[in-house]
Amino acid sequence: MSTVLVVEDEAAIAELIALNLRHAGYDVTLAATAEQARACVDAALPDIVLLDWMLPGQSGLALARHWRGAARTRDLPIIMLTARAGEADKIAGLDAGADDYLVKPFSTNELLARIRALLRRKAPQALDAAVEAGALRLDPATRRVTAAAPRGALEIKLGPTEFRLLHFLMTHPERVHSRAQLLDHVWGDHVFIEERTVDVHVKRLREALEPAQCAAMIETVRGAGYRLTGQAARTLVQTPD
Ligand code: CA
């Protein structure tokens, strides 16, 4: 059961959120102030925090920044809840380290969808185990990707999105993933992102893998999506002398 810390000073809203989350199977803890929330997190790390922006005393924004600055809570998944809808406020919230942003009033279904998406997005990254597929090795702990090559391992430089995409594909190999599924798992929240964004990042990923002759591992499955295969022959070994 995933644990959710709800930081909200308005009791009626807090209770409503808690009721809906418990109904959906989450283990919910409530905190009415930043101070209470810090004590809760110090006691036990929740799987996700719903953080109201406007709190008495320290603001939710300052609290998010505080958690992001501490090693133990650096990766704590945070969704900001707020009545502020301006673009500058959204940017401030995301800059402070929130993973996502929900403007009040929001529907319970949207809140639950955002929570599920964020938990899925964070889950593979929480696993620090290195993964291998074909000639590729990806180590989440060091954020390094290498490809086995005749003269030692070749390092592959990837942007953060391509890294997450490759990590997801490598932990779910030989299966076809639709663009919508990839957005859901890799981006976490595809409400504002178009499906063609996936194609752009797949193209970049292939370009990064090309020097190691591993681009063919990312297969396009027409009308369905993408698949990573460890079986793709590398042109490196196929090319006759
Ligand atoms: Ca409030």
Task: Render pLDDT for 49-61 as a digit per residue (tens, 0 to 9).
Answer: 999 999 999 999 9
How many A from CA of 34 to the centre of ligand 1?
A: 11
The closest of 41, 26, 31 to 6, measured between CA atoms, is: 31
What residues does 30 pair with on adjacent strands?
6
How many A from CA of 13 to the centre of ligand 1?
A: 9
Instruction: Give 96's DSSP letter.
Output: T
Candidates 3.60.20.10, 3.40.50.170, 1.10.10.10, 3.30.499.10; CATH matching 131-235: 1.10.10.10
How many A from CA of 176 to the centre of ligand 1?
A: 43
Give, as residue ranges, everything with CB less than 5 Å from ion ligand 1.
9, 52, 54
- 3-122 homologous superfamily: Response regulator (3.40.50.2300)
**pLDDT tens figures, 100-153:** 889 888 999 999 999 998 988 876 555 567 889 989 999 988 899 999 988 888
What is the percentage of the chain residues whose pLDDT exceeds 90?
54
| Cα gap 97→93, rounded to integer Å | 7
Local structure of 127: helix, strand or coil: coil
Quickly tell me which residue has 């597929």 as its tokens: 133
